[in-house]
């Protein structure tokens, strides 16, 4: 497969999915002739939006269509293998003395800050040891505090792996985190563990499962449910509803996506109006999710208008650095899909200035840079960035 051109690869996966060219064309909203030309290499898939649309219709990762393109070795590959090895350690060896739970919590807090600033390579070195320490803490000091530490550790591992394009491995880590929370019998721990699980499910193309998991978790921590809510309880419920909405939009379910976004908006009205880093719920997160959902549903004009209104809100300090940079990359895809290479390139460069790791360490970002760099209108800085990343 690695030697096949993109069009032949599309044909290979279409046949494996037991679809005729006409059935595949209907799913994409294209003509049978369009599909035939793509598969024969007569028509090239240049835009990120087209490539992603084809990959989603085939239920495969985008990388499986692009794996034949030359590029540098993934700088994060060694670190991912370290995490894979940590996840493969099934037996916890009891330490000579019990670990300091407070110290492990502090290490986890530091790792969380590193994630919010997109320091993914740094995290790859920290997470295996942190995961081992959290396991030891739970084995020697059982209780809610240790359960929360281990569940949060698995969740953070899953979030980093999603960023690095490791959807299946992320799903494994997130599933283990949810198992820890479920065994503890705490609906709030389970709800918190469901957020990275949904991101992993979305990254691996399991959109229906992501919707169901998020909706169920949000329902279990609803306002009428028993159990003490954490200080950021409303923010957690709103985040789950946003995850469900984005997964529904990814499936093309317009009605469900907008209904879930509406529910998340109502949560926003009662959540603490402060930054996410401080345990609050930033209204900009809801509006950004609406814009991303509209783009996923093909509502490009509405998505563009909403983005223009969002610029002041998303450029402020409310959203975490990682979130702002990720949103800017989405904006670059929006402009690239409209053929505006200049604005797409500027958005990518803004994302790099906001959080370097979000662009340099994510495979999806490097693919986006490669596509935008082909535009004659791309800014010179974007061309230099493409050369630095080795994707020219």
- Residues 83, 58 share a domain: no
CB 154 within 8 A of CB 171: no
- Residues 111, 60 share a domain: no
Residue 242 domain-assigned?
yes
- Residues 273, 376 share a domain: no
- Residues 312, 363 share a domain: no
How far apart CA 293 and CA 173 sit, in angstroms, is 26
CB 213 within 8 A of CB 198: yes
Residue of 46, 76, 54, 7 whose CA lies nearest to 368: 46
Residue 1 domain-assigned?
no
Domain boundary among 268, 292, 316: 316
Residue 224 domain-assigned?
yes
Residue 129 domain-assigned?
yes
Angle of helix 77-87 versus helix 144-163 axis, rounded to 10: 150
pLDDT confidence of residue 265: 77
Rg of the Cα atoms in the chain: 21
For the domain that residue 52 is a member of, what is the CATH number?
1.10.260.40
Domain boundary among 160, 178, 204: 204
Domain boundary among 316, 334, 360: 316
CB 169 within 8 A of CB 204: no
- Residues 122, 193 share a domain: yes
Residue 71 domain-assigned?
no
- Residues 29, 116 share a domain: no
Residue 272 burial class via C-beta count within 10 angstroms: exposed 0-12, middle 13-18, buried 19 and up: middle
For residue 325, what are the contacts with CB-CB under 8 A and spacing of at least 6? Answer: 118, 351, 352, 354, 355, 358, 359
Task: Give the number of C-alpha atoms closer than 13 A to the C-alpha of residue 274, restricted to the C-beta side.
Answer: 7
Q: What are the b/e assignments for 280-294, b being 16+ CB within 10 Å?
A: bbbbbbbbbbbbbbb
pLDDT confidence of residue 63: 66
CB 140 within 8 A of CB 94: yes
Residue 300 domain-assigned?
yes
How far apart CA 52 and CA 250 sit, in angstroms, is 11
For residue 24, what are the contacts with CB-CB under 8 A and spacing of at least 6? Answer: 14, 17, 35, 57
Residue 108 domain-assigned?
yes
**Cα 204-209-213 angle, rounded to 5 deg:** 120
- Residues 267, 233 share a domain: yes
- Residues 39, 144 share a domain: no
Domain range for 230 is 206-316
pLDDT confidence of residue 72: 46
Mean pLDDT in order along the chain per 10 residues (392 residues): 68 82 89 87 72 83 60 62 89 78 92 94 92 90 90 96 92 96 90 95 93 93 60 78 92 90 72 40 70 79 72 61 90 87 93 94 90 88 87 74
How far apart CA 94 and CA 5 sit, in angstroms, is 52
pLDDT confidence of residue 238: 86
How far apart CA 274 and CA 149 sit, in angstroms, is 24
pLDDT confidence of residue 280: 41
pLDDT confidence of residue 48: 60
Residue 82 domain-assigned?
yes
pLDDT confidence of residue 278: 34
- Residues 312, 289 share a domain: yes
- Residues 347, 245 share a domain: no
Number of domains forming the structure of the chain: 4
- Residues 197, 81 share a domain: yes
- Residues 86, 131 share a domain: yes
């Amino acid at each position: 497969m690695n030697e096949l051109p993109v069009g032949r690869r599309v044909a290979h996966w279409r046949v494996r999915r037991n679809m005729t060219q006409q059935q595949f064309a209907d799913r994409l909203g294209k003509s049978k002739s369009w599909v035939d030309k793509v598969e024969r290499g007569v028509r090239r898939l240049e835009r990120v939006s087209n490539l992603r649309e084809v990959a989603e219709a085939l239920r495969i990762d985008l990388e499986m269509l692009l794996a034949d393109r030359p590029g540098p070795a993934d700088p994060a590959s060694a670190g991912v293998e370290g995490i894979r090895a940590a996840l493969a350690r099934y037996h916890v060896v009891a330490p000579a003395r019990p670990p300091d739970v407070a110290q492990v919590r502090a290490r986890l807090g530091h790792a969380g800050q590193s994630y919010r600033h997109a320091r993914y390579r740094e995290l790859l070195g920290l997470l295996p040891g942190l995961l081992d320490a959290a396991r030891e803490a739970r084995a020697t000091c059982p209780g809610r505090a240790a359960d929360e530490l281990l569940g949060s550790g698995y969740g953070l591992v899953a979030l980093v792996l999603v960023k690095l394009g490791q959807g299946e491995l992320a799903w494994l880590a997130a599933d283990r985190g949810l198992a820890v929370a479920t065994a503890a019998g705490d609906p709030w721990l389970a709800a918190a563990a469901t957020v990275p699980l949904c991101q992993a499910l979305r990254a691996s193309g399991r959109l229906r499962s992501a919707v169901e998991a998020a909706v169920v978790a949000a329902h279990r921590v609803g306002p009428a449910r028993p159990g003490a809510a954490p200080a950021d309880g409303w923010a957690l419920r709103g985040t789950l509803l946003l995850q469900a909405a984005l997964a529904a939009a990814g499936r093309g379910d317009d009605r469900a996506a907008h209904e879930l976004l509406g529910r998340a908006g109502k949560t926003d009205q009662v959540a603490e109006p402060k930054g996410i880093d401080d345990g609050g719920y930033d209204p900009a997160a809801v509006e950004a999710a609406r814009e991303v959902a509209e783009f996923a549903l093909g509502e490009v004009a509405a998505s563009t208008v909403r983005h223009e209104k969002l610029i002041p809100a998303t450029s402020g300090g409310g959203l975490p650095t990682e979130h702002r940079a990720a949103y800017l990359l989405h904006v670059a895809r929006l402009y690239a899909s409209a053929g505006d290479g200049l604005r797409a390139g500027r958005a990518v460069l803004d994302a790099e200035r906001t959080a370097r790791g979000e662009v340099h360490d994510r495979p999806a970002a490097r693919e986006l840079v490669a596509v935008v760099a082909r535009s004659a209108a791309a800014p010179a800085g974007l061309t230099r960035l493409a050369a630095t990343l080795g994707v020219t």
